[in-house]
Chains A and B, each alone.
Chain A
């Protein structure tokens, strides 16, 4: 079974530039998550989708971050304009239903460095 796919794996951009990350969840998984993991910290939930609807985006900096999940499958996370503090690993994850303690499966992450 294919896992969660993410691209690009690595990206270096200058501050005030824009960047987009793509995620393809495990086939059939209704719930998709984007987490931000800053070096030395635990993953922080940015946004959670149930199919193509948003169920939680309370910690998403909406002035610069946006995310969409068209047709309830793939998702993109965009940052514009980027700040130095956005340097982190962006983890995409998916689970079967998003309820009842389903296991969350993670991709390998997209590493962002803002210089």
Chain B
């Protein structure tokens, strides 16, 4: 069964600085990978996803992520963060089986400091 690890539970960063949120996964088969964001008191929404093709994926709000199969990683990056990026970020994985069972990581809380 697949699993997801997010090594950093909390990441504080100053406004306009770059940020990387780390995600590693475990699976015995091919996977799809996702990053979701959850703003305070809101539901989760998709930032970006990797299905196939180019390993560099661009998403909304200036975020991007790179799939690294050999390291089983899917780290999320943004070159310059804004106060509005303060939120909880979840990495998720689903195995390419007959149906999509999406498993989420524990989340990383990003706090942008003015």
Where the two chains meet, the residues of A that have a C-beta atom closer than 8 Å to any C-beta of B are: 4, 31, 33, 35, 40-45, 48, 50, 55-56, 91, 93, 95, 98-109
Contacts and interface: CB of A to CB of B under 8 A. Distances in A.
Interface residues of B, number: 24
A101 B100 contact: yes
B107 A42 contact: yes
Contacts, number: 60
Interface stretch (B11-19, B43-51, B61-69, B71-79): B43-51
Contacts of B4: 42
A50 B36 CA distance: 22
A50 B90 CA distance: 24
A58 B2 CA distance: 14
Interface in B81-114: 90, 94, 96, 98-107
